[in-house]
């Protein structure tokens, strides 16, 4: 008897990664590998959307203020400038820390856009998720909120949509009245949300003498939280030099107590006596900035006391994101 020849299947042409379309997780992968999409290119796509971007606001004007508004400031707004200008029918685009009902974005009745910054995002890249929300808000019907979603892995980021030049000037508010241009005609849901948000807002002031430093008032003591752009290890060394030399405070009764780590940047925190206002701390903060610049320029190895101070500062770091 003649032997049966083994049957072979013609190989399907393999597609480049960029050419593979998105299909259902359990469907065969369009690349021709014979595996399900979720076990082949779907895995790569999922990893691309969930991989954490350590500094999502890097490259944006005012990166430190972006971090502060995302993590530290209850109520603030800042006007945004689009790289390609405003579309027809959109008079302005404003970044807001929080929007009513925790909406990711809102297209107002007049066509203007409010983009919420402190919402949860679906992927590991806050910048891409916010850019996706902003792009959809620009074309949403006036008078409607925009819901969140996971942005496409190849979608634009804020750095692609916003103008790269110029500084941002956040306006810190005592409450969330900026939500409603006409409070008397706000819906009951928005009014209730506004009342809850105002009750929880911590009084906060942005200093004018230095960049991205925010004074806040709490029942027991006040604080200064200062988002700094310097590389973390270098900044901790500089703070340790000042701390060991007794030069890290902002005046009598104040104390550098540690730092936050947020979106790739370090945020030193000072405790302040409750009687010290934001205005009181303007000059001491400016003087500290000069001392810090000198310490950042130093390149000698840390002394024993400086290493101890650095260890204490490192132990008191708290990661916010």
pLDDT tens digits, residue range 156-192? 999 999 999 878 899 999 999 998 887 777 788 888 8
Between 73-82, 144-153, 270-279, 305-314, the lowest mean confidence (pLDDT) is in 144-153
Confidence of residue 8 (pLDDT cuts 50, 70, 90): very low
Cβ neighbours of residue 72 under 8 Å, at least 6 residues apart? Answer: 204, 214, 216, 225, 227, 260, 262, 267
Confidence of residue 194 (pLDDT cuts 50, 70, 90): confident
Question: 14 pLDDT exceeds 80?
Answer: no
Between 16-25, 86-95, 126-135, the lowest mean confidence (pLDDT) is in 16-25
Report pLDDT for 90: 98
- Of all residues in the chain, the percent with pLDDT exceeding 70 is 88
- Contact present, 240 and 307 (Cβ < 8 Å): yes
Average pLDDT, rounded, for the chain: 89
Q: Whole-angstrom Cα distance, residue 138 to residue 225?
A: 33
Between 2-11, 47-56, 134-143, 300-309, the lowest mean confidence (pLDDT) is in 2-11
Confidence of residue 49 (pLDDT cuts 50, 70, 90): low
* Residue predicted with more confidence, 196 or 262: 262
pTM attached to this predicted model: 0.83
Q: Whole-angstrom Cα distance, residue 192 to residue 163?
A: 36
Report pLDDT for 33: 82
* Alpha helical stretches, state H, the chain: 41-50, 63-71, 126-138, 158-161, 188-200, 232-244, 278-297, 304-315
- For the stretch 255-310, pLDDT in tens is 999 999 999 999 999 999 999 999 999 999 999 999 999 999 999 999 999 999 99
Question: 44 pLDDT exceeds 60?
Answer: no
Q: Whole-angstrom Cα distance, residue 265 to residue 70?
A: 12
């Amino acid at each position: 008897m003649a032997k049966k020849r083994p049957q072979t299947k013609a190989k399907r042409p393999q597609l480049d990664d960029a050419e593979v379309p998105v299909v259902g997780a359990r469907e065969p992968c369009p690349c021709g590998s014979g595996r399900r999409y979720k076990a082949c290119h779907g895995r790569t796509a999922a990893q691309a959307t969930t991989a954490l971007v350590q500094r999502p606001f890097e490259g944006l004007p005012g990166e430190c203020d972006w971090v502060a508004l995302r993590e530290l400031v209850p109520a603030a707004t800042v006007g945004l400038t689009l790289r390609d200008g405003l579309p027809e029918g959109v008079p302005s685009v404003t970044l807001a820390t929080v929007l009513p009902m925790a909406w990711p974005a809102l297209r107002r009745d007049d066509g203007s856009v409010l983009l919420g910054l402190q919402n949860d995002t679906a992927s590991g890249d806050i910048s891409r998720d916010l850019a996706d929300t902003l792009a959809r808000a620009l074309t949403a019907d006036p008078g409607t909120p925009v819901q969140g979603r996971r942005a496409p892995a190849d979608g634009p980021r804020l750095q692609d949509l916003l103008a790269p030049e110029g500084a941002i000037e956040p306006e810190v508010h005592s409450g969330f009245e900026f939500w409603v241009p006409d409070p008397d005609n706000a819906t009951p849901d928005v009014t209730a949300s506004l009342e809850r948000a105002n009750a929880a807002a911590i009084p906060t002031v942005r200093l004018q003498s230095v960049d991205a430093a925010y004074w806040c008032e709490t029942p027991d003591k006040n604080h200064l939280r200062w988002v700094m752009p310097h590389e973390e290890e270098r900044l901790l060394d500089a703070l340790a030099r000042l701390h060991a030399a007794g030069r890290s405070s902002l005046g009598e009764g104040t104390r550098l107590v540690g730092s936050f780590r947020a979106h790739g940047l370090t945020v030193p925190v000072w405790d302040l006596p409750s009687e010290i206002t934001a205005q009181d701390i303007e000059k001491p903060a400016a003087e500290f900035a000069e001392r810090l610049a000198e310490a950042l320029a130093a390149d000698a190895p840390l002394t024993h006391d400086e290493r101890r101070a650095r260890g204490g500062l490192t132990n008191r770091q708290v990661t916010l994101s």
